[in-house]
Amino acid sequence: MDADLRYPIGKLALTKNPTDEQRRAMIYAIAETPANLAAALQGLNGPQLDTPYRPGGWTVRQVAHHLPDSHMNAFVRFKLALTEDQPTIKPYKEALWAETPDGKSAPVEPSLRLLEYLHERWVLLLRSMAPTDWPRTLVHPERGPMTLDETLGIYAWHGRHHTAHITALRAREGWK
């Protein structure tokens, strides 16, 4: 049976009530995402950046722009959940964002810089959170209530997931 190219690291599996050590590992995964993405993109040329990571999937370039788009939303969601009582967050149409001109054709370097600085700030916030902050909730209109622990797990996975789309494509194509 062929591997599912949509999930190169497997589907999201959240840990209920993570330990402090598990939480630190998830924060570390978020901290490492910008460098891992930059390494995955290193040396790719224009046609390679415009190659879909799977049939019917986004191009490498769209994936590179999607991560800061998504993680900016995540950072704002954390701030809302820390400063408001069960805020209802605004979802966004990520597939449509990926089709905007900047998502389809802009150089990846601005998104790499944005992701680096965004994650630097986000990790400062995450490492400063008290144990009583993690059970705080936000309300996603489609998913329902979500704790910050759950949200952390989603985004720790998310960065690894999309970076693996690129590294798996590189391996399949033999791109060095």
Domains held by the chain: number: 1
User: Alpha carbon of 138 to those of 91, 141, 150, 154, 168: distances in Å?
Assistant: 12, 10, 10, 14, 33
Residue 63 has pLDDT above 70, yes or no: yes
Average pLDDT of the chain?
A: 97
Residue 136, in any domain of the structure: yes
- For 134-170, how does the pLDDT look when each residue is reduced to its tens digit (9 = 90+)? 999 999 999 999 999 999 999 999 999 999 999 999 9
Residue 163, in any domain of the structure: yes
What is the residue range of 101's domain? Answer: 20-173
What CATH number corresponds to the domain at position 36? 1.20.120.450
Residue 159, in any domain of the structure: yes
Residue 56 has pLDDT above 70, yes or no: yes
Residue 2, in any domain of the structure: no
- The predicted model scores a pTM of 0.96
Residue 6, in any domain of the structure: no
Residue 15, in any domain of the structure: no
Residue 13, in any domain of the structure: no
Beta-bridge mates of residue 146: 138
Residue 4, in any domain of the structure: no
